[in-house]
Amino acid sequence: MSVPLSVLDLAPLSAGSDAPTALRNTVDLAQHAEQWGYRRYWVAEHHYVAVASASPAVLIGQIASATKTIHVGAAAVQLGHTTAIAVVESFATLDAFHPGRIDLGVGRSGQRRTEAIRETPREPRPPREWHEVDGVVVPAPFDLSALMRNPRLKATMTTLQQPDAVAPDFGDQVADILDLLNGTYRVDGFEAHATPGEGTALRPWVFGSSRGQSARVAGAQGLPFVAAYHIAPATALEAIEAYRNAFQPSEALAEPYVVVSADVLAADDHATAQHLAASFGHWVHSIRAGGGAAPYPDPDGVSPLSDEQRALVKDRIATQFVGDADEVAQRLADLQRVTDADELVITSVAYRHEDRLRSHELVAKAWTAS
C-alpha cells in the first residue's frame, strides 16, 4: 500500500499575475487536493520574493475554512522571525476553529548572528560527489556561501526582526513551544500559560534539509521530521539518517516519523511535461543568483539556459520529477523506498494554474493506483 501523499504550496506568482490571484489559486488547489485524496495541504513562509505565502497562519485559516477534512499546516513557520508564544497562540487559535486538522510546522530561518555564532566553525564534512541511490539522484551539495553573502539578502533579512534582536536558539524555541503546549512553561521561575494553546493536541513538525540542528532537535524531542529533498537533494538523505540516529521516543511518537518532499510536474504526456518544466531552471536561477524568486516565467517564452546558468541549477533540474503521471509516480515510489518515508509531500510550480491543477490530479490518481 502506498504511503500518504500531501501538497506543499508556495502560492507562486506567475509572470504578469499578482498576489491576490496566487492566493485565490492556492485555495482553489487546496479544495481540489482534498477531492483528489491528498492527506495534508501545507503552505510555506517566504518574504520579499514572488510567492504569496508570506503569512502562513492567515492563509491556513482561509484554506481550512474553504475545505472540510484535509489537514492544513505550515511548511514551515520560520522561528527566527517570531517567538514561541506567538506561534503557539496563532496555531492554537486555528485549531480551535478547525480541531484536529492543523499541522504546526516549524523550521530554522536566516537571522542576525551574534559574534559567537559567526565565529563558530562549521562541522567538517567529507567531499561528496554526484551519485544515485537505487534510482534516486543525490547531487553534489550546492555551495550557498555566495548567496548568503548577497547584499540584498542580508539587507532584507534585517527587516524581518526587531532592531538589534537576535533570535533564540532553534532548539530552545522548539522546547519552549512544547512546554507552552504542555502547560510546563516557566519565565524566570514564574508559570506562564498559553491561552489558547495549552492542552491542545497540536504538536510541532520539524523541517530540515541537512544533518544539522533541525534533524537533531526533531529526533531528540521525539517529533516528526520533514526532509526537504525538493530544496536540498544533496543532503536530505543524510538529514533523515541523522534524525533517526538522534530519535528518542516521546508522548507524541514511539518511533521516528519521516516525511520527504519532492518537486514534481506531471502532464498528460512526457513531452508536454518537459515543455511546461522549461521555466523551472530559470526560476531556480533567479533564487540562487541572489535576486529572490522571480515571477514564474511562461515556458512558451523562455530561452535555453546558458552553460553558466545551468551549472547553478543542475542539481534542482535533475531532482525535479517531470513526466507523465506514471513516470512521476515511479520516481516518487523510488524516493519513498530509498528513504523509507512514512509520507511524501509534493510541491509543483507551473505558469498556468490549470497546468498545476492537472499535475496534482494526475499524480494523485497514479499514486493511488500504484
- Span 137-191, pLDDT tens digits: 999 998 877 777 777 777 777 788 777 778 889 999 999 999 999 999 999 999 9
Whether the pTM exceeds 0.75: the reply is yes
Q: What is the pLDDT of residue 119?
A: 45
Q: For 263-273, what is the mean pLDDT? A: 99
Mean of pLDDT over the chain: 94
Q: What proportion of the chain, given as a percentage, has pLDDT over 90?
A: 85
Sign of the four-CA dihedral 236, 237, 239, 240? positive
Cβ proximity of 204 and 104 under 8 Å: yes
Domain count, the chain: 1
Q: What are the pLDDT digits (tens) for 240-256?
A: 999 999 999 999 999 99
What pLDDT, on the 0 to 100 scale, is given for residue 349? 98
Q: How far is CA 308 from CA 38, 300, 314, 319, 340, in A?
A: 38, 22, 10, 19, 35
Least confident range of 122-131, 295-304, 311-320: 122-131
* pLDDT at position 124: 55
CATH of the domain at 186: 3.20.20.30
C-alpha cell at 45: 513562509
pLDDT in tens, 95-135: 999 999 999 999 998 654 444 444 445 555 555 789 999 99
Share of the chain above pLDDT 70, in %: 95
Condensed to tens digits (0 to 9), the pLDDT of residues 21-58 reads: 999 999 999 999 999 999 999 999 999 999 999 999 99
Residue 155's pLDDT is what? Answer: 76
The whole-number pLDDT of residue 110 equals 65
How many residues in the chain? Answer: 370
Q: Which domain holds residue 22?
A: 5-119+126-369
Per-residue pLDDT, 146 = 72
Peptide bond into 196 cis (omega under 30): yes
Comparing CA positions, the residue from 185, 349, 200 lying closest to residue 266 is: 349
Mean pLDDT of 208-231: 98
